[in-house]
Chain A
Amino acid sequence: MGLKNKRFKTTLLVAVFLSIISSLILVFLTNLDLYGSVASVAKVTVEATVEESRWSGVDEAVVERFAKEHGRDAKEPLINTDQGDLLLFVFLIAGAGGGFLAGYYWRRLTEQK
């Protein structure tokens, strides 16, 4: 009985939580509909992305696009590694280094017991 009661309470709490979140999202989206359809904005974004270049990042498709529309262009980074294949090299090093460190610390963690 106790277990059933606990499960019921858990289910109820989760349902209430999800309902609140969904309601908040719906209220948010409904309010936004005052300024244009949700679906159409999302569709325009996707179409714009496809037009510009397939598989571009959301920094280009969303962040930089909106910034440009409002007169704010992205500047070159302080250390500009985005030149030719230099960025590939930097990402490869960062990936290899990050992967090695993750593996090393995972091993230390699991051996520590």
Chain B
Amino acid sequence: MKFRISLTILLSLFLYVPEVYAMHISEGILPFNWAALWFGLSLPFVAGGIYLLKKKVSSDLSLKPLVGLMAAVVFIISAMPIPVPTAGTCSHPCGTGISGILLGPFISTVVASIALLIQALFLAHGGLSTLGANILSMGVVGSFAGFLGFRLMRLSGLPLYLSGFIAGLLADWATYLTTSLELASGIRGDAPFLPLFGKIAIAFIPTQLPLGVLEGAITGGMVVLLYKKRPDLLVKMGVIRAVEM
């Protein structure tokens, strides 16, 4: 019990940061038409996620703690600035890789949307007008990349940790690639799209390349930890087969 309390306090202190070092697209950067388009594209995924969440939780109440845990994890991870010495900058992992694997991509999008909304409202992290773009990149693309990457790796016979690692890596990199695409299309004006998109994507590389590896390690570690503690839950969520327990 004392250990758990100490761990909670330590976790809380670890999150005490001197400044905000975010990567979400800030308020007002995207023009209205582009911001509206990203909202429009992300809404069906959020709606589908809410429907699935209600359906699953009403039939199995034991899923609630897992959804709550993932919501807290995505919120914490996506607001946690990590300094990258090779680049001299700070950025954060996304957390949607692990939630995509454990909850499925649609429910994971809902979890990410809530985290992004709270961050935009109270933490000066992202923005309300750019919320749709941030949901699409981190919530939708991050969750689907994590989910599909994990399934593909498992189908090819890779062990649990390695599958989680690659899924987390893909989720992180896919998120930043989508952010580059959203930013380039929104700010380019009359400039050609591809060169600008390339420049932005490359500019992310020094920071996001090592952070993607870190996100992979975190994702793989969390999948293995849950496998050791609650393999039945992983079976229920379709992450592993019953014979693997």
Q: Are A72 and B186 in contact (CB under 8 A)?
A: yes
Q: Is the interface of A mostly helix, strand, loop or mixed?
A: helix
B: number of interface residues (CB 8 Å): 78
Check if A63 sits within 8 Å of B89, measured CB to CB.
no
Determine the chain B residues whose CB is within 8 A of the CB of A1 once the complex forms.
Answer: none
Binds A, one of B38-46, B49-57, B73-81, B212-220: B73-81
Does chain B have a CB within 8 A of A32?
yes
Report B-chain residues with C-beta under 8 Å of the C-beta of A41: 198-199, 202-203
Contact across chains for B88 and A49 when beta carbons are under 8 A apart:
yes
Residues of A within 8 A of B4 (CB): 103, 107
For B89, the chain A residues whose CB sits under 8 A away are 46, 49, 55-58, 61
Taking a contact as CB atoms under 8 Å apart, the answer to whether B26 and A64 are in contact is: yes
Given contacts A59-B22, A99-B15, A109-B230, whether A81 and B123 have CB atoms under 8 Å apart is yes
Q: Is the CB of A74 within 8 A of B21?
A: no
A95 to B87, CA, bound (A): 25
**Within 8 Å of chain A (Cβ to Cβ): is B8?**
yes
**A93 → chain B closest CB, angstroms:** 9
List the A side residues contacting B31 at CB < 8 Å: 72
Report the nearest A residue to B80, measured CB to CB: A95
Q: How far is the CB of B20 from chain A (nearest CB, A)?
A: 6
**B242 beta carbon closer than 8 Å to chain A:** no
Contacting residues of chain B (2-46) with chain A, CB-CB under 8 angstroms: 4, 7-8, 11-12, 14-31
Contact call B76/A95, Cβ cutoff below 8 A: yes
The winner among B7, B123, B208 for most chain A CB atoms within 10 A is B123
Quick one: which of B19, B26, B128, B189 contacts A71, CB cutoff 8 A?
A: B189
A56 is contacted by which of B21, B27, B195, B202 (Cβ under 8 Å)?
B21
Point out the residues of chain B lying under 8 angstroms from A59, CB to CB: 21-26
Closest beta carbon of chain B to A68's beta carbon, Å: 9
Given the complex, which residues of B lie within 8 Å of A67, measured CB to CB?
26, 29, 183, 187
Q: How far is the CA of A31 from the CA of B194 in the complex (A)?
A: 10
Provide the residues of chain A in CB contact with B179, threshold 8 Å.
Answer: 63
Q: Is A27 an interface residue when CB atoms closer than 8 A count as contact? A: no
Chain B positions 155-213 with a Cβ under 8 Å from a chain A Cβ: 156-158, 179, 183, 186-189, 191, 194-196, 198-200, 202-208
In the complex, what residues of A have CB within 8 A of residue B90's CB? Answer: 55-58
Cβ 8 A contact of B206, one of A46, A72, A78: A46
Q: Chain B residues in contact with chain A, CB under 8 A?
A: 4, 7-8, 11-12, 14-31, 62, 65-66, 68-69, 71-73, 75-76, 79, 81, 83, 87-91, 118, 120-124, 127-128, 152-153, 156-158, 179, 183, 186-189, 191, 194-196, 198-200, 202-208, 229-230, 232-233
User: Can you list 12 A-B pairs with a CB-CB distance of less than 8 A?
Assistant: A9-B157, A42-B203, A55-B90, A56-B90, A61-B89, A70-B188, A74-B127, A79-B122, A91-B20, A94-B118, A95-B12, A96-B15
Considering the complex of A and B, which 6 residue pairs feature the smallest CB-CB distances, nearest first? A95-B15, A75-B28, A57-B21, A10-B157, A32-B198, A105-B69
Chain A residues near B (Cβ < 8 Å): 6-7, 9-10, 13-14, 17, 28-29, 31-32, 34-36, 38, 41-42, 45-46, 49-50, 54-59, 61-64, 66-67, 70-82, 87-88, 90-92, 94-96, 98-110, 112-113
